[in-house]
Structure 1
Amino acid sequence: MQLTKFTDYCLRVLIYAALRQDGPITIDEVAGNYGISRHHVTKVVYRLGQLGYLETSRGKGGGIRLGRRPELIVIGRVIRDTEEDLGLVECLQDKGSNCVIEPACLLKSAMTEALDAFLAVLDRYTLADLIGPKRMLAATLGISPESLEKQPDSQSNTPADNNDQDGNHQRH
């Protein structure tokens, strides 16, 4: 399975926004630091804003911010929301199938099971998990270490069902 570039860019923008919670970010900043086109980032930011993952505002002091806390953004959900068609084979695609063996074929159920397993793993990860190596990610993206220190404390609302008694995220 291969995700579209659009979904890949959505995840990258969310990672960047999560690292830069000290203030608003810009489309040009994201595009420049990732080396991807401004046009693609604009489309991604627009869609993530529609979905509530980002908040956008225009004018002085405007820009892009996370619309939700990183620990509340589930990666599997982002993929479901941003991929147009998760059908791995023709018979699973939204547009329908012309496959002549579909009525007797077990490939469809096997692929459905595989896709469900893929998404189930990603459902165990949040954006907070993906930004775990903050300093290394920030250095790679040209984000100043000072901006990491100014971020709001995000530990107080971590979903309890994913944490052990010490507050460590648990993957199942």
Structure 2
Amino acid sequence: MRLTQFTDFALRLLIDLARETPGKRTTIAEASRRLDIPINHLTKIAHRLAKANLLKTSRGRSGGLALSRPAESITVGQVVRVTEPDFALVGCMAGQDCSLAPGCGLAPVLDTALMTFLRVTDQATLADIAHSPQRTGTADSLDPFGEKNPCG
């Protein structure tokens, strides 16, 4: 599964805000500079996150963005569910016809994989990520099987 750039930017924004002093507001312009994300994108992201009650927004001289609740109570899974438009990994999961139906067992396997992904992301909070030491390496270096390519 690959997350959209929208979700990537939303997570970056929320993690950045989680690193701030609680209650401190950050303007979209400040966040844009720090995160190197265009203001237009951040505006759309902030709007979506505010509608989902993950962000508080206010206008005016002392306005800006802040988390709507403590970073310890916002999970990565919650953010992903708000920002990802579609979790259908294959067409039949989105209700499209499948030439292999009804005997195909792929959709249940992918559905289990998706549920596992969401369960793991539900365990990680913004606080966990914002205050953890930076991890270096690639997904290959984090392979739980200890192999670079288990398929050969």
Q: Give me the TM-score of the superposition, normalised by structure 1.
A: 0.73
Q: What are the superposed Cα offsets for residues 49-72 of structure 1, whole Å, 9 maximum, x if unpaired?
A: 111110000011111111010000
Structure-1 residue corresponding to 2:4: 4
Give yes or no for contact 2:57–2:63 (8 Å, CA) kept in 1: yes
Q: What are the superposed Cα offsets for residues 19-54 of structure 1, whole Å, 9 maximum, x if unpaired?
A: 123521011111111111111100000111111110
Give yes or no for contact 1:21–1:66 (8 Å, CA) kept in 2: no
Structure-2 residue corresponding to 1:98: 97
Query: What SS does the aligned partner of 1:103 have?
Result: coil
Query: What SS does the aligned partner of 1:32 have?
Result: helix
Query: What SS does the aligned partner of 2:66 have?
Result: strand
Give yes or no for contact 1:49–1:56 (8 Å, CA) kept in 2: yes
Q: What are the superposed Cα offsets for residues 122-168 of structure 1, whole Å, 9 maximum, x if unpaired?
A: 1111111011238x7xxxxxxxxxxxxxxxxxxxxxxxxxxxxxxxx
**2-structure distance, mates of 1:24, 1:115:** 35
Residues 110-119 or 21-30, more deviating: 21-30
Give yes or no for contact 2:57–2:64 (8 Å, CA) kept in 1: yes
**Cα offset, 1:115, TM superposition:** 0.5
Structure-2 residue corresponding to 1:73: 74
Give yes or no for contact 1:52–1:67 (8 Å, CA) kept in 2: yes
**1-structure distance, mates of 2:44, 2:124:** 24
RMSD of aligned residue pairs (Cα, Å): 1.4
Structure-2 residue corresponding to 1:125: 124
Structure 1: unaligned runs, 5 residues or longer: 137-172
**2-structure distance, mates of 1:84, 1:103:** 27
Runs of 4+ aligned residues of structure 1 deviating over 2 Å after TM superposition are none
Q: Percent identity among equivalent residues? A: 41
Structure-2 residue corresponding to 1:31: 32
Give yes or no for contact 2:19–2:131 (8 Å, CA) kept in 1: no
Alpha-carbon spacing, 1:60–1:108, altered in 2? closer, same or farther (3 Å): same
